[in-house]
Structure 1
Amino acid sequence: MLQPMSDWYWFSENSQLMLSMGKEWQCTTAYGQQHIIDLPKSHQLFNLSDTEYYLSFANHLLASGAQFSDAQLTHILINATAAIMFHKPVAPKSWFFDEVESYGFHHRLARVSNKFNSGVVLVLTDEHSLATCMLISSKLQLNENKFLRQFELIKLAKNRLEPLLSEASSQLTA
């Protein structure tokens, strides 16, 4: 996992939010102009708030026992931080997923399921009975015609989130 550095900065290219990680590395986030509140017009430093979110999510994911490569973990952390800092609010869409009896999340990880499939989400924000989540799995079918792609956000009632325990975490990016 890459550690945030003082030379990191956000910028946009072709209406896509990007992160420069020094002279040699850049990461294209999953978020374009249609998802972002204010797309940076020039370099916007990866500030203290960005670093706090990045490291907080890293601590949760590392403590979960989930198996990620350094590259996967870094990509998840960059997109989670970008979502928290720049993404437009999303409306609740709990009806796409089944209710679960024992609900919540474990180290901010949860599984969501419906009649089509299941996937793993990272809980970004926890608000009363709702949680804003980012899909970690590669994709998730919502209905006959709709899919959620990796790193897209969805807001759900917490009774749709099944805590993901470490023994079940081998299917994270499947």
Structure 2
Amino acid sequence: MLKPNNSWKWYFDQQHNSLMLHLGNDMVFRTAIPAKFLITCAMQENTFTVEDATAFETFKSSIEHLDLPKPRKAELALNAVAAGRFHKPMMPKSWFFQTQSHGYEPELGEIVTLATETGQSRFIVIENSGSASLCMMAEQEPLSLSSTKEMNYCDTIKVMNDRIPPFVEELHQGLALVG
């Protein structure tokens, strides 16, 4: 996977109407965040800071166990860093997701599940503001939110924390029955 360094630079590409990250060696990463969701400072050149590198490592270690190809994990981690730094504040859209019976306080980088009436998907927590969390979809298959709306890989949504249960990874162990 990628190793952050001090030559990485964030910039806004007018031609592609996208936030980009120049990774050096003629490599450029295009973020998945629509331009309308970016804060004003994202339109200028910004250095990839120590805080960005720390967030990248946090997200990278959180998604290590997900069943995704390495390039998709790098994409998810970089998009998560970009969202954490440059995403505009948004209002929660919790009505798409099922209410949970207990309160939960997810942590930065934690993998959680969000369930709709038609399915569920894993998300990575980008930010927890106390009562709500900004989450990024970490599944490659789309998630239907309603009959007319769906979420795709690396899309973000803010939801109230009462809709977020922790993700429980099922461990498949080879057990032998003896006796």
Which TM-score tier does this pair reach, normalised by the shorter chain? 0.7 to 0.9
Question: What does 1:49-128 align with in structure 2 at a 5 Å threshold?
Answer: 49-62=51-64, 65-101=65-101, 104=104, 105=106, 108-128=110-130
**Structure 1 regions of 5+ residues with no counterpart?**
169-174
Instruction: Please identify which structure carries the higher strand content.
Output: 1
Match of 2:152 in 1: 149
Q: Secondary structure at the match of 2:61?
A: helix
- Checking the alignment, whether the CA contact within 8 Å between 2:42 and 2:86 is kept in structure 1 is no
Cα deviation, residue 100, structure 1: 2.5
Count of matched residue positions in the alignment of Structure 1 and Structure 2: 166
Letter in 2 for 1:54: F
Letter in 2 for 1:148: M
Q: Secondary structure at the match of 1:19?
A: strand
Distance 1:30 1:129, change over 3 A: same
Instruction: Provide the TM-score with structure 2 as the length reference.
Output: 0.82
- Checking the alignment, whether the CA contact within 8 Å between 2:11 and 2:21 is kept in structure 1 is yes
The root-mean-square deviation of aligned C-alpha atoms, in Å, is: 2.1
Higher relative contact order (CA 8 A, sep 6+): 1
Within 2, Cα distance between the matches of 1:117 and 1:159? 18
Instruction: Provide the TM-score with structure 1 as the length reference.
Output: 0.84
Match of 1:172 in 2: none
Question: Which of these two proteins has the greater Rg computed from alpha carbons?
Answer: 2
Give deviations 1:99-119, integer Å, cap 9, x for gaps. 223564586111111112211
Match of 1:38 in 2: 40
Percent of aligned positions that are identical: 25
**Structure 2 regions of 5+ residues with no counterpart?**
172-179
